[in-house]
Chain A
Amino acid sequence: GAVVSQHPSRVICKSGTSVKIECRSLDFQATTMFWYRQFPKQSLMLMATSNEGSKATYEQGVEKDKFLINHASLTLSTLTVTSAHPEDSSFYICSARSPQGGTEAFFGQGTRLTVV
């Protein structure tokens, strides 16, 4: 099946700094990718839909200036957590749907962000 690669898998950063997370589709072109956030022992919550060549669509309650999304190519979407704070510590995971009529969304491995 299609492969989505997410990097880094773990990151620890200081409060106030910015962190960039990459999501790549390795063997297919993804015009749309999705970014989720998962708090411990909770479900995945959709943050935003990333569209190649256009602005991302954010879910209600998600700060656009806080979570910057760039989908500059058909195989790469990035999520930048700006001015990170301890409450931003979470598990972030991206997904992309294969354009070949596949029914499942392929997920990256996820990134565990810890802000200290």
Chain B
Amino acid sequence: AQKITQTQPGMFVQEKEAVTLDCTYDTSDPSYGLFWYKQPSSGEMIFLIYQGSYDQQNATEGRYSLNFQKARKSANLVISASQLGDSAMYFCAMRELQGGFQKLVFGTGTRLLVSP
């Protein structure tokens, strides 16, 4: 069963606009962590933002914010004031305990294209 679901294969946004990238997750573990990573064409994985399952407030990091709706099991990434350099693949991931280790499970990703 898919644990992390990203339903948007691609998204387009105009420069300076805000964009929301969707992510839903599935877990029975009460303690988990949710991450968003950016992967530019060079391939590196750049950490953007983290939300713990017990965090009461939505995480924010500069232009990135995470819309955490626990009951709906969603953790959407909001990028405000998009920039051309934001064009990349974005992956949602969940950290959960498996076999004694905390592992990251990734979604299929969303390709964001920011146009001038």
Contacts and interface: CB of A to CB of B under 8 A. Distances in A.
Interface in B101-116: 101-109
Interface of B is mostly: strand
Contact of B45 (A1, A93, A103): A93
Contacts of A110: 43-45
Interface residues of B, number: 22
Contact of A107 (B44, B52, B102): B44
A109 B103 contact: no
A57 B99 CA distance: 9
A95 B103 CA distance: 11
A45 B47 CA distance: 17
A46 B91 contact: no
Interface residues of A, number: 23
Interface in B54-109: 91, 95, 99, 101-109
A46 B47 CA distance: 17
B104 to A, nearest CB: 6
Interface string A77-94: 000000000000001010
Interface of A: 1, 32, 34, 42-46, 49, 57, 91, 93, 95, 97, 103-110, 112
Given A44-B106, A105-B95, A109-B43, 10 more contacts: A34-B103, A43-B91, A46-B104, A46-B105, A49-B103, A95-B45, A104-B47, A104-B50, A106-B47, A107-B45
17 contacts: A43-B91, A43-B106, A43-B107, A43-B109, A44-B91, A44-B106, A46-B103, A57-B101, A93-B43, A95-B104, A103-B52, A105-B104, A107-B47, A109-B43, A110-B44, A110-B45, A112-B43
Q: Which 8 A-B pairs have the closest CB atoms?
A: A107-B45, A110-B43, A104-B47, A103-B50, A43-B106, A44-B106, A43-B108, A109-B44
